[in-house]
Structure formats: structure tokens, C-alpha cells
Structure 1
Amino acid sequence: MTKTIGIYIHIPFCLKKCLYCDFHSVSLRSYRPLKEYCRALKQDIKISTAEARGYSVKSIYFGGGTPSLLEPEELAGLVRVINERFYIMDDAEKTLEVNPATVNTFNLKAYRRLGINRISLGVQAFDDKYLRLLGRLHTSKDVFLTIKLLRKSGFKNISIDLMYALPEQALASWEKDIDTTVSLGVEHVSFYDLTVEKGTPFYRMRNKLKQPNQDEQARMYKGGCAKLKKAGYVHYEISSFAKKGRESRHNCIYWLNEEYMGVGSGAYSYINGTRFGKDNNLKRYMDEAAQCRISRFNAEELRGVRRYKETLMLNLRILRGFSIKEVQQRLGSPLPALMKDRLVQLVSEGLVLNKGDCYRLSSRGILLYDVVAGVILE
């Protein structure tokens, strides 16, 4: 059986870091470090070839940060090295994250010619008031123009990311965002509640941020789900909706706990049962790459019960759930008794539904997924 893998390439640069963002990213003050970083990425790809020898690549994902800051020639250089070093499946999904504040027709057409066949658009909101509050640089008009340009450039698979539970956001405002999204006819939608993380400007402002309470957030989530499903989107993962056949193949690799290779500063890989990261210090990462070395950080083997815990926890994010037989075949070992007990507990608490050897989240379990994950991982 052919082994498959997804490749994630991290571009940590942004024009400006958003107030809520806790991802590994830095503000870009000049294009010089971006060019130097691309050289380091090429070296990282070459070094990583040995780790993924014998794998077929089924997805490539340029994430960030803001990958759409890459000039076409920089992206072309990365794509060329990947194509030289790996076998890319004919139907591979190739995604580029795009910030609506960074696009132009020339670049978009060039990205398409380079084989990018899916765009993930960081919209977050359609109300300019909330975009300013979040520290975003684009406006709602920029989003409409970007989607128009993407279609003209030949992109037939566009995903939009939205956020809800924003400070002082009402249900009607959120539902208007969903209606606008539906009207745009994009193929995929993901939405997430605003989580205020430590180390972000929002965390320092947390006592002044008046977010909707938990009941209001639940109504927002349910309302968004209902509208998207009514519009013909399949609710296939807790936060993800797709038109038929347009599910995110790359993200499904994570949710199925399959293997992936991370390239770039702060990127993580999971190959041959071992998960490990790359240095999130940009200078050290680039200095090492210049010496033809890339160090592993936080390497850990996922075996036995630990591997089962993470697999079941992630698999439950996919709303169709999983079958024990399927998971056992994939992991090559029987379900540990401890994990069976945890599933029985979740079923008894009404958080997970069970039919035969199949398990999936209940509607209550979807809203309380953090509780479900905690039970599985404890």
C-alpha cells in the first residue's frame, strides 16, 4: 500500500500581526528577510527528503503568517524544489493562504500557473468595524474584490475563514456574515470562536473585551451551522463546511492523525510515529539552514495508548466519527481497554453516540468538544 503524506510550508511573516494572533509570526519590515527565509526553506525541503522517502504527496499547504506576501518567483522556487524532491500525486491539493490586503491580479494568475489549486482566504468578518477591532488591514470591499480576482484567475476552490464571538458582536451581525459568505458561493467555510490567548494584545485588554457569553456563543455556532447546511454545505468537521467533494484534504490529514511533514521555522512534522518541530527562532533557523543543518525540537514518539488517545481525540472532530475496526487497521494494534472505557464513559454522558463499533460526537458533544478531548486524553 502506497504511503501518503501532506507537506506544510510555514511562512511566518505578516504585514502586521493581528491583535488576537498567537501563531508563530512576525511583522515584515522589509522583503530582505523573506528572500533569505525562502533560501532556508529550500534547504529545509532538501534535508527533509530523507525523512519522507517512499511517500507520495497528496497535499501541499502554504500557511502562515501571510504566504501571499511571496512574490511569484519566490513561490516558484519553492514549488520547483518540492517537485524535484518528492512524488506529487496528480490530484494533489495545493493550498495557499491569502490575506485580502496583499493580492493583485498578476500574482494570483502566477500562483495558479504554478499549480496552486485551492485558496484559503483569511476574511474573519465582513463588518469593517470588527476588522478594525481585530487589527486586520483589509476591508470588506477588499474581500469582494479578491474573490472576483480569484475567479478571474481560474481558482475554482476557495475557502473562507470567519470568526464569531467577537467583542460586542450580536447574533444578527454574525448571521449577516454567514449570509454574505453564502452569497459569494465559495466552496469551503471554516469558522471559529474568538479565543483570547496569553501573550496577545487582546489578552492584555481582556477585561475590556465584552464577548458574548457562552449561551450566546452557542446560539451563534448553531445559527451559523444551520444557515450553511441550508445553503447546501456539508458540515463535515466541528468548524468546517464544504460543498460536495471540497473538504480540506490537508486538514483531514491532521484530523485523521495521518503523517505530515512541516517545513519552516516553528513547523511540526509527524512521520514514522515521531512528532517533532523546527526551531521557532527565525535567526537560528536561517543560520542553521545556511550551514545545511535543520535541528529537531520537542521530538516525541507516539506509541501504544498515547497514539490511540491522540487518534481518537482528533478523529472525533470529523462528524462522521470513526469505526474501531478502521482505526485498529490504521494503527496496527487492538484498541486498549482504557480507551474502550473512555468511549463508554462519553456515551453514558451523552457526549458521544455509538452504533455497533462506530462512534461520533452528539450535538451536545460538538458544543462540548473540549470536555470530550479532556476525557480521552486524561
Structure 2
Amino acid sequence: MDGIIDCETHYFSDGFLELLRSRKTPPRQEVHGGLRKYFPEPTAPDVAIAYPAVLEENLLDLGDSRIALMDQHGIAAQVVSLTTPGTDVFELDLALKQAREANDVLGAAVARHPDRFIGFATLAPFGGDESARELERCVVELGFRGVNIHSHVGDRYLDDRSCWPIFEAAQRLDVPINVHPTLPLGTMLAPYLGYGWTLSGPGLGFGHEVAVQVSRMIYAGVFDTYPDLQLMLGHCGEALPFWMYRLDFPYIKPYIDVLGDHPNLDRKPSEYLVQNCWYNCSGNFFNPALLACLSAVGSDRLMFGSDHPYESYDEACQYLATMPVSEPDRVKIASTNARRLFKLDAVSAD
């Protein structure tokens, strides 16, 4: 299949990588020969992941090699965002500075390959109006089509009011926010520890972290204030489609909350997950997860994602080709839905 829109890929900038290597506290990186040891979470400074140098080389590539790989697998365009931890968890002044520099690097790549790269801004999520202005710069001046945010910073979550200027800007600019996983907060990590990266990262910690973040945004009334705001969720929704009925309990079963402690929302939580969220299969090439997501949100909200370079295009594209879905739905997942979300056809028509 050709013409595929890949809704999740990542990059590093040289400057961001140098910063990680210069730091003594997380987020930081250590070089051990052909391996890289990465410590992502300031509140859990001993949790690390090791990965080969070739992965880093692929993250740094925003040029011909990446384009050639896309051509090889029929990828028409990639959504590209700064890899975890983004600039999110740095102290605010440094986060604002690094976000602007990383966005400029990606902006230059988008300018070189405007039909192949769909830029997503990185921001300091708690930077308030300044971060909102940076998002507007990225969309208006650099041509980006979304923003990537990595959940919490310390004990502050995405329902914190200092994040809301970003939500307002994203709605006004009509671009989606991708909520990307990272490690849970250190005080939440105790049950995950003792097994290295296995449990705290992609095993369970990542998905739980995003599910908590998005649920907090819903219960805080973010989507009542910004009803047109759209989120993107990878890995078939981080299990949120599975939990829809349970998240609705206080709203459909009054005996669950007889004291009336649940937030007063305009809609049921599940409705926000259907009407304000888009889902892709990045790094979760598993039919039961896909079918649960498809059944919960419908084929008009599901898209393809590879999680390149963390995942193999051979596996991701083979999965797309063999998903147990109808051919019209396969086309929607491969490209049509993403083209609609990012307004790619409108751009082509200009």
C-alpha cells in the first residue's frame, strides 16, 4: 500500500542530545560505547533504559536516509515530534529555550521536505501564554500541524491551569495535541520498580500515565471549555477505549457516587474519548487491542502509526496490510483519516 500517513515518528536534535549528555540529573543520557543509557524522569532518577547507538542515529536523521526509508515502505508523510522526554520536564526557562531551538530544527526539515514531514511542536507545557505563543509561531511561521506533550512535570499534570493557554491556542489554531507517554511520577512508581524498564516503561507504566493524564483533562472540564480541542493517542489509545464504560460509572450509575463528588460535565467521559480523540496503532500491533479501539471509537477516528525509529517499518506496514478490517476501513486507517485531521488535501488544493 502506498500513500500511507504515519502519525507517530520521532527525532532528536543535536543540541538537545548535547544537553542531555551534559546533565548530572535527569533527564540525562550516558554514552557507553555502542550503547546509550537514558534516564528520563527527575522524580525517579535511578530508572534507566539502554538502547543501541543506531537508534540514536535514526532519531537524528531528518534527511535523505529517512526519506528513502519512507519511500521503501510506501510512506507518503510522517508526523514528526521530538522524542521523549521532549522539553517538558526541564526547569521552565530551559524548557522554553530548548523548545524553540528544537522546533527550529524540525521547522528547517519541514521546509526542505514540506510534502513528507508533518511537524509537531514541542513545548514547555506549563509555560502558559509563552508556550501558547510558541505553538502559534510553529503553526503560522513553521507550518506545523500539531503539538506533542509528555504528560506530567513533577507533581503537576495536564489539568493544571497553566496548561490551558496551550489548549486554547490549539483549538483556535485547529491543530491536535498528541499526548505521548513517559514514566509515571516518582511517587506513583513504587509498584513498577524492581524490574528495570520492563514494567515502568512500555509494559504498563507508559499506558497508565497517558490514561491518567487524559482522564484528568476530561474530569477537569478541559473539553467543556474547549469543545473543539482534539487529542491524538498512540498505542491504540493506551487502553482508554477498554475503560470507557467504567469511566462513565458516576454518570450512568448514580449509586456509585451518592455524595455527588464527580465533576459536573457536559457529556459522559466516553463521549469525549469518541468526539475529542484520535487513535493510532503505533507500537501496538495487536489485533485484540486494535479491534477494541475500532469497536469503541469507530473507523473514522483510527489511524496508522509506526513509532519509528523505535519500531520496525517492516513490522508496522505488514501489520497495516493484514489488519482484520474491511478494505475501506484499511484505507481510512492508512491515510484518509490523517489527511482529514491534518487538512492535507486542503493544502494540496491551494
TM-score (norm 1): 0.42
Structure with greater proportional helix content: 2
TM-score (norm 2): 0.44
* Structure of greater Rg: 1
Structure with greater proportional strand content: 1
